[in-house]
Amino acid sequence: MAQPPVEDDLDLKPAKAGFLFRAEMFTTNVLLGYWRAFLAVVIVVLLAILLYGQYRTWNRRSQRGTAAEVAQVLAVLPAPVEQLPMRIASGEEIDLAQLVTTADEVVAIAEPGRGTARTEGLLLASELYRIAGETEKQREALDAATSSARRVLDFATHEGLANIDLAGGKGEDAVARLRTLSEGDSFLAEQATIDLGLALEHLGRGDEASKVYADFLTRWPDSPRKDRIEERQSRLGHVQGAG
């Protein structure tokens, strides 16, 4: 009598590939199919990093070179630029024509330069022009500096232009510059707000100056210059009351 077939428990059934295995196969296929593109991307990224590093090195060297050339030109002056006004005020004779010539040389070096070295050179030239009474050349140097000025140097550049506007009868231009500089809550904005109030006082616009000082006390209630601002505000109130 025939025996019934015995079920084989060891019969292997097709296994379903797991998720990790399928992901690995997919990744392998992608890498094999697109390895040239991946390699090209890696090469481009490495080249970009290399070129950026070389650019930064070149930029630093360029700025150092500009600063060194400017310093060499300024070395012929009888004193550092910041000390010249005090020397003149004390009665020392300073050749103003030499200051103008030196400033012209500094501009010629700095203007084609880059970054901070360029801006600082133009600001030094503008100060020499100011001391020598060459207002138009001072303005030109400051105007040129605005394209490369950043942060504190940008503030100094526009403050200088505002002072020229104020002295030259362009009060509205000066006020507009100072209002822009006074925006924000930084130390520079604080200083610009004070300068704005002083400019308005200079223009005989006491009411507006008083409002600027009130705004200052609201924005910077803990400022170390608070007492001075309150004094100016009080003085303006007395003057307006007397008027």
10-residue stretch averages of pLDDT, the chain, 243 residues long: 52 54 65 61 69 65 84 94 93 94 96 91 96 96 93 94 94 96 93 95 94 95 94 78 51
Are both 107 and 143 inside the same structural domain?
A: yes
Are both 134 and 41 inside the same structural domain?
A: yes
Examine residue 174 and state whether it is found in any structural domain, yes or no: yes
Whole-structure pTM over 0.75, yes or no? no
pLDDT given at position 154: 94
Q: Which of 103, 126, 148 is the last residue of a domain?
A: 148
In 3D space, the residue among 123, 127, 118, 197 whose CA is nearest the CA of residue 155 turns out to be: 123
Find the angle CA(185)-CA(187)-CA(190) to the nearest 5 degrees.
70
Are both 230 and 160 inside the same structural domain?
A: yes
Are both 120 and 162 inside the same structural domain?
A: no
Looking up tokens 């020598």 gives 132
Q: Which of 127, 148, 169 is the last residue of a domain?
A: 148
Structurally, how many domains does the chain consist of?
Answer: 2
In 3D space, the residue among 200, 224, 223 whose CA is nearest the CA of residue 212 turns out to be: 200
Q: Which of 84, 113, 148 is the last residue of a domain?
A: 148
Examine residue 16 and state whether it is found in any structural domain, yes or no: no
Are both 43 and 112 inside the same structural domain?
A: yes
Are both 62 and 119 inside the same structural domain?
A: yes
Domain range for 38 is 34-148
Find the angle CA(119)-CA(128)-CA(130) to the nearest 5 degrees.
100
Are both 197 and 184 inside the same structural domain?
A: yes
